[in-house]
Amino acid sequence: MSLATEERTAATEAEPSKSRAKARILPVWLRRRPAAKSHRVRATPREVRWWVGVVWLALSALLLGFVGHVTLFGALQHSRSQAIGYSQLRSTLAEATTPLGQLDLNKELVAAGTPVALLQIPALGLTEVVREGTTSTQTRQGVGHRRDTVMPGQAGASVLYGRQATFGGPFGGLAKLVPGDSITVTTGQGKQSFIVFGLRRPGDRLPAALAEGKGRLTLVTADGVALAPSSLLYVDAALKGTAQETPAPVFLTKAIGPSEDVMQPDSTGALPLLFAVQWLLIAAILSRWLTRAWGRWQAWIVSIPVLLVVGASAADAAAALLPNLV
């Protein structure tokens, strides 16, 4: 290498150091300020996918739990409630303490959910314990008796509510009934027989007014697609024979709450649903975290049973918000 080439190389290497030295000797107000670093943290695509996975996992568990509840768990709850109600009703019938009106033997209002009758519809193969009250809570246990109407078999119109699809769907087959089918109801006054004389929907012609001393039974449920009904179905049946003694009512229709009317949800079910969804989200987050800590298959083995149980609990809380006839 020639002497001239070496001098050029040395000069080139010295230029950056001179520039840095020059920058150091500049006054503070002339120095270039470094670019400010942004403190905003943006979510990386991986983090977004992680949270999307959490939400998807929670929704999947809730959906599976709801399907399982409608097809299996709700029916099991209904069967258990019916078994308990039948045992209670059989005891009160044997002891002659079954309520016959709006008041019990102690002259107090009959408690909501009290078994008051046994409904049998041979054409549908249906045997159902009837409980007092028609809120969503009562119809989750089975058929409910509207409290402002007389008991079946007494003089006047008695009205029973039942669900179409959920919690056993005891009234899901009412549309199959035809005029002439028989209905039997056993109460504290004995066994009463009714004959179906008509099926109707809102807007159809109402039955004729009852004559004095006559009785009628009306069964009410949702009508249309299961879980998405578009109307109501009424089945009217006339009492055969003489009406039983009818206690005087102590309250009328205006005294019952809105939640006891047709297609009304249970307003008290919102808070349990909120807590159930929170636990479901926590379970989904832990499941996603375990896939990183333990591995996918190990995490799924532990997480799936927990997610199914929590999802079923959330689905049960959600089902409580469904209208009382769905």
Q: Which residue has the tokens 């709450």?
A: 257
Burial classification of residue 107, based on how many CB atoms lie within 10 Å of its CB (0-12 exposed, 13-18 middle, 19 or more buried): exposed
10-residue mean pLDDT series, the chain (326 residues): 51 51 51 54 65 86 82 89 97 96 93 97 98 94 96 97 95 97 98 97 94 96 93 98 93 85 85 88 90 84 88 84 92
Q: How far apart are CA 230 and CA 223, in angstroms?
A: 6
8 Å CB contact between 264 and 135: yes
SS3 label, residue 236: strand
Q: What is the pLDDT of residue 113?
A: 96
C-alpha–C-alpha distance, residues 171 and 148, integer Å: 21
pTM of the model: 0.79
Q: Is 317 left (phi over 0), alpha (psi -120 to 50) or beta?
A: alpha
CA–CA gap between residue 106 and residue 155 (Å, rounded): 23
Nearest to 286 by CA among 273, 265, 304: 304
8 Å CB contact between 78 and 322: no
How is residue 107 annotated by DSSP? S
- What is the model's pLDDT at position 65? 83
Cβ(128)–Cβ(118) below 8 Å = yes
> How far apart (Å, rounded) are the C-alpha atoms in residues 233 and 164?
10
Residue located via tokens 């309250």: 251
The phi-psi region of residue 217 (left if phi > 0; otherwise alpha if psi is between -120 and 50; otherwise beta) is: beta
Q: CB-hemisphere CA count at 13 Å for 142? A: 27
- Secondary structure element (H or E) that encloses residue 126, with its range: strand 126-132
CATH number 3.40.50.12780 given to 67-268: no
Query: Cα–Cα distance between 63 and 205 in angstroms, integer?
Result: 40
Q: Can you tell me whether residue 261 is helix, strand or coil?
A: coil
Of 74, 252, 248, 1, which Cα lies nearest the Cα of 148? 252
